[in-house]
Amino acid sequence: MTDNYESLIIPLRDIALYSEYISAIVAILFFFKYKNTQLKYFAFILIYVALNELLGGYLRDSGISYNYIIYNIYNIITFSYFFLLYRNHLKKKLYKKTVMAFFVIYLLAVLINGFYQNYLNQAQTTPYILASVFLIVSIIFYFIEILNSQKVLYVNKNLLFWISIGLFLYYIGIIPFRIITNSFASADSHNYLFLIKFILVVVMNSCFIIGFIWSNKKQEY
């Protein structure tokens, strides 16, 4: 089982990592398209993601098993960025207030959960799942506003639309993955679920890359 697992998981893990690196590079190359928009910090987020994965891989290959802290910090930074991005982008006041409430609740969940989990050697569980659900709802708010406006006519040329599609597909799939792997951490078969995670990473970054290349320089937000 180990040989079969490694023959599947290692190449797909590498492809997922390369998709993150490529996404960061493409974000830099096409930065001129969105440097004057609310997405101007997105390239820095993708660069940070790529560097974080490099550091995580180095620690793993060095035999350091307790590298959860860098991923826990990563989750806080990325979720915070996306909550604030959608909060600032949305037009409807109810949606803006709801997303801001999501952001505050998530930070409180991280703080409270820290009394029950050691973030130095344990991955966030409840805060991550909670934030994933909140982010999906925030993206749905964005989709609703798009469908009810003239923006739907040129949505395929909108970078934020492609980012939202990628995030939506990833977190829709990652929630059951996190629940199952946390609930059945001792089962050997759950390792194959990481194939799904890596596929989701590739799909998400593919959406990002399409958005960078396909979107107009004049971003109609």
Q: How far apart are CA 103 and CA 190, in angstroms?
A: 31
Contact indicator for 87, 140 with CB cutoff of 8 Å = no
Q: Is the pLDDT of residue 190 over 60?
A: no
Q: How far apart are CA 217 and CA 210, in angstroms?
A: 14
The pLDDT score that the predictor gives to residue 19 is: 97
**Average pLDDT value over all residues in the chain:** 89
Query: Residue ranges per domain, the chain?
Result: 2-214
| Ramachandran class of 123: left when φ > 0, alpha when ψ lies in -120 to 50, beta otherwise | beta
When pLDDT is cut at 50, 70 and 90, the band that residue 186 belongs to is: very low
The predicted model gives 1-5 an average pLDDT of 53
Q: How far apart are CA 151 and CA 205, in angstroms?
A: 23
Output the DSSP codes for 162-219. HHHHHHHHHHHHHHHHHHHHHHSTT-GGGGGHHHHHHHHHHHHHHHHHHHHHHS-SS-
Q: How far apart are CA 120 and CA 127, in angstroms?
A: 15
The pLDDT score that the predictor gives to residue 191 is: 64
Q: Is the pLDDT higher at 87 or at 6?
A: 87
The pLDDT score that the predictor gives to residue 100 is: 98
The pLDDT score that the predictor gives to residue 220 is: 52
Q: Is the pLDDT higher at 108 or at 4?
A: 108
The pLDDT score that the predictor gives to residue 187 is: 47
Q: Is the pLDDT higher at 219 or at 194?
A: 194
Sign of CA dihedral 33, 36, 38, 41: positive
Long-range contacts from 63-67, C-beta under 8 angstroms, 24+ separation: 65/121, 66/120, 66/121
Contact indicator for 190, 176 with CB cutoff of 8 Å = no
Render pLDDT for 118-163 as a digit per residue (tens, 0 to 9).
Answer: 888 888 889 999 999 999 999 999 999 999 988 787 888 899 999 9
Q: Is the pLDDT of residue 221 over 70?
A: no
Q: Is the pLDDT of residue 101 over 70?
A: yes
Contact indicator for 179, 129 with CB cutoff of 8 Å = yes
The pLDDT score that the predictor gives to residue 83 is: 98
The predicted model gives 174-197 an average pLDDT of 73
Render pLDDT for 37-81 as a digit per residue (tens, 0 to 9).
Answer: 889 999 999 999 999 999 988 887 777 666 789 999 999 999 999
The residue among 146, 143, 147, 131 whose CA lies nearest residue 99 is 131
The pLDDT score that the predictor gives to residue 65 is: 61
